Amino acid sequence: MPDWQTEIRRRLAGLKLAPAREDEIVEELSQHLDDRYAERLAGGASPQEARRAALAELSGEDLLWRGLRRLEPVTTDEPLVVTGRRRHMMSDLWQDLRYAARMLRKQPGFTLIAVLTLALGIGANTAVFSVVNTLLLRPLPFRDPNRLVWISSNRNAGSQAASLRASDGNLSSVTTQVGHFLDWRSMNQSFEDMAAYFAFFDYGSYTLTGSGEPERLRGVGVSQNFLDLLGVTPARGRGFTDEECVWNGAGAAMLTHAFWERRFGADPRVVGSTVILNNKPTTVVGVLPPSFDFSSAFTPASPVDILVPFPLSEETNRWGNTLAVIARLKPGVTMESAQAEMDTLTAELQKAHPERNTNGAKLTSLQEQISGRFRSAFVVLLCAVACVLLVTCTNLSNLLLARASSRRKEIAVRIALGADRSRLVRQMLTESLLLAGCGAALGLPLAFLATRMLAATSAINIPLLRSVQIDATALVFTLIAAIATGLLFGIVPALQVSRLDVHENLKDASRGSSEGGRGGWIRNTLVVTEVALACVLLVGAGLLIRSFLRLLDVDPGFRAEHAASWRIEMGPQYETPAQQNAFYEAIVRKVEAIPGVESVGLTDALPLGRNRSWGVRAKGETYAPGTFLDAYPRIIDPGYIRTMKIPLRAGREFTAHDTADSQKVLIVNETMAAQLWPGRDAVGQIALLGRQEWQVVGVVGNVRHSNLEQEASLEMYLPVTQAGAGSMDMVVRATLPLPTLAPSVRAALASVDAELPTGDFQPLEQIVERAISPRRFITLLLGGFSGLALVLASLGIYGVISYSVTQRTQEIGIRMALGAQALSVLKLIIGQGVRLAAIGLVIGLAASLAITRVMSALLFGVKATDPLTFAGIALLLGGVAFVACYIPARRATKVDPLLALRYE
């Protein structure tokens, strides 16, 4: 390559540029001429011709017009004409990118801070978008998901039981009886097909034995057509046959893909083999595909290992409302018309079968059923993380404005020598886009890591969370976010460059003289904007944090500390009630004898988990035909209430004298006592469960069995010796650390039954934690985003005030030389920043009053206009703004007047 620098310096000599500015221009023009020289060589010109053509662009008055802005070839050589405008556009873009990279390399500190900030902002947006895309935007991973409908029951609508609804966690109020399901399926004209699964599967489990350690599996009973309706094809093997879906039919099971890999090492020979489930030979007929995760879609709180056939028979019909129903609409049928038909069918069936549970039929899209209740929370999160990115953009705009101000003489020289202003704007935007691209490239791995961690966690009960991933849609979103971000924070500095006053900036005036009021006004506006955005985020986060703290203060009605539970599954060899009771008594005696165990209790349903309801009435009271109150039944042993530390309000607990042959007794909670026997002592009263009479022997405190955010409902406790139970949860309260006690408990269980799975151990505190996990998840994310916005806003204030101090160094020096005190200078500088923060704070609080109202559904125990939260955020932002202003203001008071007066 020819040496261009000597010739360029000769031609620039008359401009008398500063050495540093001249070096930059020489470097850029040399690169430009190298590119033009290479182009002409590629076009067929000789080295001498290529050199002359390149140097021709430095001739004439428009020296830098041709040097900094790519034009059409100045020669008429045919090969060059053929390249045309497109080639030069690509060459211009490449040159802009190279120049932008050189400029960013010259300021590594600025570049690193900008890229890291953008990586956090864009990465967080990508991660949250991936979650929102999976839960709310992406269609469900089933065939034609828009035609899938969830049909829930509206049992006892309008009756005294109307206080309990699907939202309270009571499965009995949303599930359907087998008889109703079969009639719906055969009589409707709106659906291609209906399928169902056994909603109360978590009350029992399956013990896998005969191959390795005994393991307790969660299995869901499904109708024969369940997978076909969803459009799910087994990865291996087949689905269930009609012969397998009958009462006492041949044992069959399908393995989930994850369980197949974990337990059997993905061995294809497992399909068709026989395993032992609950001491019954069972054929493995298939393996589900990895894309179908039953628990992630339908039961996020209960991981599922196998699917088993569920018999739609008279025997299961007698179990009451047990089925969760899914249907597929026929093409062209609307939800409204299908709802109208189901209303008619339900009314007819209730008249034809008064012996069945009173069922309604409410249709909801399956997408809405699975993820609808999280919609508002994740929309708020997406808006919050977008606000963080906006704050990031305003901050970077301020940094670029300051950076452009330091380069204004260079830019003025380029414009004076003929550089096109639009080309300079494009070059500035290229730098911004390059920064945004680097930030996105670094943010993607952060987003990937975050989504992998979310997908792998089992501590958050949010549907479809395990299927969250960075897919092609997320990559497109990241690309769009990077481009939009680069343009957003780069456009203001770029436009400022295009309006630069060349005459003023070529003068040898002070550094602050040429900036003018417009640049300062823009920077101040950006600071006000980011303070306002940070205020909105902080208020929203503050409301959620206060809600979360209120939730933590809720008394669940039991004491979770120092207690843990084990799931106990007795095998089919315990056939009679006497054998079953003896089995449970033996377990309790063995575990109670372990040193460090304080007490042991048994229950068929732990709090904050699965729920079902039974109809109950008070003897002697008059009810409308077919109506009753819904109450949660809990089947327990005599030690459960004491072990859970549920307070006894009146009467007694169960004892060993409450046997199958004695008077049937129950214990009720305070809510049930008040509703069934208002103003009376509930102890000694008779409750009717169906046609059986149960005498109340005790009243206990309310337990939040559904969730911590709802008041306690009607609950009743029945002794296991009288009500009977299959699977039970054993609760152990200990004085020793629970992890050290676990091996002894497992050994005690194995001594009673060697085939008993003993691996399911969980502290009760973990159950409480899981119950509040969705709220904690939203609160932590929004709190983190708000904290980041606060830091960025404070940095923005600090940056503007610091820059202002630098620009006003001479003014400050003159003031101090004329006798101004340090305190007055301090007040002057701090006042400037505090005014900006105050304006942003007022705007942000006003916006928060309007915006936070949409968060009302996410709050608990706190109003959207909570004055304490608003006042606290105002004080927090005001304090941070003061500190951000004080640091540069304090530095201003240290200015030496003599040095400041020489400052240029």
Helix locations, 553-625, DSSP H = 577-592
pLDDT number for residue 325 = 94
Cβ atoms of 310 and 223 within 8 Å: the answer is yes
Q: What share of the chain is helix, strand, coil (3-state, %, to 5)?
A: 55, 15, 30
pLDDT number for residue 774 = 80
> Interior CA angle at 624 toward 618 and 628, to 5°?
45
Cβ atoms of 354 and 626 within 8 Å: the answer is yes
Query: In the structure encoding, which two tokens stand for residue 637, read together?
Result: 């042993």
Kindly provide the residue ranges of all beta strands, DSSP E only, lying in 455-568, ordered along the sequence. 563-568
Query: In the structure encoding, which two tokens stand for residue 156, read together?
Result: 């006892």
Phi, psi of 354 (to 5 degrees): -65, -15
pLDDT number for residue 810 = 65
> d(Cα 715, Cα 669) in Å, to the nearest integer?
6
Residue 106 contacts by C-beta under 8 Å, 6 or more apart in sequence? none
Give pLDDT tens digits for 25-46. 777 777 777 777 777 787 778 8
User: Among all chains, which residue has been given the structure tokens 């093997």?
Assistant: 237
Q: Is the dihedral of CA 497, 503, 505, 510 positive or negative?
A: negative
Read off the DSSP letter of residue 136: I
| 631: nearest Cα among 676, 697, 663, 686 | 676
> d(Cα 173, Cα 153) in Å, to the nearest integer?
6
Coil, strand or helix: which one is 565? strand
Percentage of residues in the chain with pLDDT exceeding 70?
84
Give pLDDT tens digits for 309-339. 999 999 998 888 889 999 999 999 999 999 9
> d(Cα 72, Cα 66) in Å, to the nearest integer?
10
On the CB side of 839, CA atoms within 13 Å amount to 13
Kindly provide the residue ranges of all beta strands, DSSP E only, lying in 199-245, ordered along the sequence. 206-209, 215-217, 219-222, 236-237
From its phi and psi, is residue 629 left (phi > 0), alpha (psi between -120 and 50) or beta? Answer: beta
Query: In the structure encoding, which two tokens stand for residue 729, read together?
Result: 């949860």
> d(Cα 775, Cα 709) in Å, to the nearest integer?
10
Residue 827 contacts by C-beta under 8 Å, 6 or more apart in sequence? none
| 68: nearest Cα among 41, 40, 35, 42 | 35
Query: In the structure encoding, which two tokens stand for residue 704, read together?
Result: 């939040």
| 645: nearest Cα among 675, 607, 677 | 607
pLDDT number for residue 842 = 93
Coil, strand or helix: which one is 189? coil
656-695 burial, b for 16+ CB within 10 Å, e for fewer? Answer: eebeeeeebbbbbbbbbbebbbeeeebbebebbbeeeebe
| Element spanning 697, H or E | strand 692-700
DSSP letters for 610-660? ----EEEEETT----TT--EEEEEEEE-TTHHHHHTPPEEEE----TT--T
pLDDT number for residue 175 = 85
> d(Cα 670, Cα 383) in Å, to the nearest integer?
43
Coil, strand or helix: which one is 114? helix
| Element spanning 324, H or E | strand 321-329
**Terminal Cα distance for the chain, rounded:** 40
Total-model pTM? 0.71
> d(Cα 637, Cα 700) in Å, to the nearest integer?
15
pLDDT number for residue 725 = 75
pLDDT number for residue 792 = 80
Query: In the structure encoding, which two tokens stand for residue 306, read together?
Result: 């196998």
pLDDT number for residue 254 = 95
From its phi and psi, is residue 679 left (phi > 0), alpha (psi between -120 and 50) or beta? Answer: left
pLDDT number for residue 430 = 86
Q: Is the dihedral of CA 98, 99, 104, 105 positive or negative?
A: positive
Tell me which residues of the chain have a pLDDT lower than 70. Answer: 1, 12, 14-18, 20-21, 24, 57-92, 154-173, 211, 301, 357-359, 404-421, 458-460, 497-520, 625-627, 758-760, 806-811, 895-904
pLDDT number for residue 858 = 81
| 884: nearest Cα among 832, 821, 820, 810 | 832
Helix locations, 312-420, DSSP H = 314-317, 335-352, 366-371, 375-406, 408-416
> d(Cα 560, Cα 770) in Å, to the nearest integer?
13
> d(Cα 457, Cα 237) in Å, to the nearest integer?
30
Coil, strand or helix: which one is 876? helix
Query: In the structure encoding, which two tokens stand for residue 13, read together?
Result: 């000599």
| 368: nearest Cα among 184, 521, 139 | 139
pLDDT number for residue 59 = 52
